[in-house]
Amino acid sequence: MKPEQSPADSAAQVRTAVALAYQAGEAAPVVVAKGRGLIAEEIIARAEEHGIYVHKSKEMVALLMQVELDRQIPPELYRAVAELLAWLYSVDAQNPELRALGPPNK
């Protein structure tokens, strides 16, 4: 017998995802996709298919979900996103073979 779930429990299990893109010369990264539930699952699946790192931070996603689609992130998030990007670039530079291998098979 399964315990009953409250609406709050069900809502807590729904995945949320935000995709950012940054091009050299732009002032800040842009929110290019975001969603909950099935849309979030699709965003994550496509990122993984293309070997794009998926960072799992509920706090960061909650902040980025407030940014409108196709808008640059606000200055208040520059530092947090810059630190994440710097870390990703350093990991990528230290492990070029991971990029060559592509995404892991599941």
Domain count, the chain: 1
* Residue 3, in any domain of the structure: no
* Residue 1, in any domain of the structure: no
Asked if residue 34 has pLDDT above 90, the reply is yes
Domain holding 54, by residue range, is 12-101
pLDDT digits (tens, 9 = 90+) for 49-104: 998 888 888 999 999 999 999 999 999 999 999 888 888 888 778 876 655 444 44
Asked if residue 11 has pLDDT above 90, the reply is no
Q: What is the pTM of this model?
A: 0.73
Q: Nearest-CA neighbor of 28 among 98, 90, 76, 87?
A: 76
CATH code, domain carrying 23: 3.40.1690.10
Helix, strand, coil percent content, the chain, rounded in steps of 5: 50, 15, 40
* Residue 4, in any domain of the structure: no
More confident: 56 or 31: 31
* Residue 2, in any domain of the structure: no
Asked if residue 41 has pLDDT above 90, the reply is yes
